[in-house]
Amino acid sequence: MKRIGVLTSGGDAPGMNACIRAVVRTALANELEVVGIRRGYAGLIRGETVPLDRRAIRNTIHIGGTILETSRSPEFRTPEGRTRAAASIEEAGLDGVVLIGGDGTFQGGSLLAEEWGIPVVGVPASIDNDVYGTDYCIGFDTAANCALNAIDRIRDTARSHDRLFFVEVMGRESGFLALESGIAGGAEELIIPEESFSPADVSARLREGFRRFGKKSAIVVVAEGEMPGRSFEIAHEIREHLGYESRVVVLGHLQRGGPPTVRDRVLGSMLGVAAVTALLDGRNGCMAGEVKGEIAYTPLGETGRVKSLDPDLMRIFPLLSE
């Protein structure tokens, strides 16, 4: 192995640049050339590459987003698109590719490896933290801290005005962000895709909290689910039952940007090193993740399996929310 590529695909996540930096430095330490592939699979199909050396990744570990840019590529989902991607890899003289992204990125990478025999290793980066095969994904900790900061600020005004606030965080199909930021922020209620939602039940619990404990304000953390902005409808439904003045805050893409936390910088660095090491060891079609503090390799085809929320966190949330 003499020359490898690295790309970022799908949604951006804080810590991606730390991972790119680690990939480059590990490759150079092993006398490998490194090529950056711009704009994910879309750029790969079009052969948009840039050489990466120490100067290219200098002073990038603290920057959010991705210096290689990213995109979603419907074309890559087709056999014709992957054929063009494989041709670009051959033309660039790449002996392997590091894929930094989420489940969609890895499903495409798995097909590329199977159809064309190209060595690929994935690194999980998703603020939703929904990739199977790793306890935490790059970007999750930064996004959770962003949500927590917002909850802390909103609680001040909720308390000052005796109001009910709905704070909507990202999480289309998973409640990891909502659960951990909700626990850390002392939220009274949690609405996540993994559990059925009943406006009447949530209203009853909030009403009981106001009655029993003398609360005059409360915060409900909502995972966006299939429809970003769903908190407005939820707030309306609960207001109909509860008759309490409420406000809605949708954090949206605020959670994606900003400097990565210590945790995401370290995780990105560690997994970047692990990905290059895997290629050098002859591994292919796998993802380098972290499970219980140790590096673990999962076949790319399995990374789309349902990743369950921590049952201990689910158990303690009702106890702490009263």
Point out which residues pair with 294 in neighbouring strands.
Answer: 291
Residues designated as active site: 128
Name the residue type at position 232. Answer: F
**Angle, alpha carbons 115-270-105 (nearest 5°):** 30
- Provide the b/e sequence for 134-165 (b: ≥16 CB within 10 Å): bbbbbbbbbbbbbbbebbeebbeebeeeebbb
Residue 298, burial from CB neighbour count under 10 angstroms (0-12, 13-18, 19+): buried
**221: which residues sit within 8 A by CB, 6+ positions away?**
147, 151, 167, 168, 169, 178, 181, 182, 185, 187, 189, 190, 191
DSSP 138: B
Question: How far apart (Å, rounded) are the C-alpha atoms in residues 26 and 248?
Answer: 45
Give the tokens for residue 311: 């049952």
Give the other-Cβ count within 10 Å of 3's Cβ: 14
Question: How far apart (Å, rounded) are the C-alpha atoms in residues 97 and 7?
Answer: 8
Point out which residues pair with 295 in neighbouring strands.
Answer: 290
Give the tokens for residue 8: 């970022």
Question: How far apart (Å, rounded) are the C-alpha atoms in residues 172 and 270?
Answer: 27
Are 169 and 221 spatial neighbours (Cβ–Cβ below 8 Å)?
A: yes
Are 179 and 210 spatial neighbours (Cβ–Cβ below 8 Å)?
A: no
Smallest CA-to-CA distance from 26 within 98, 90, 105, 86 is with 98
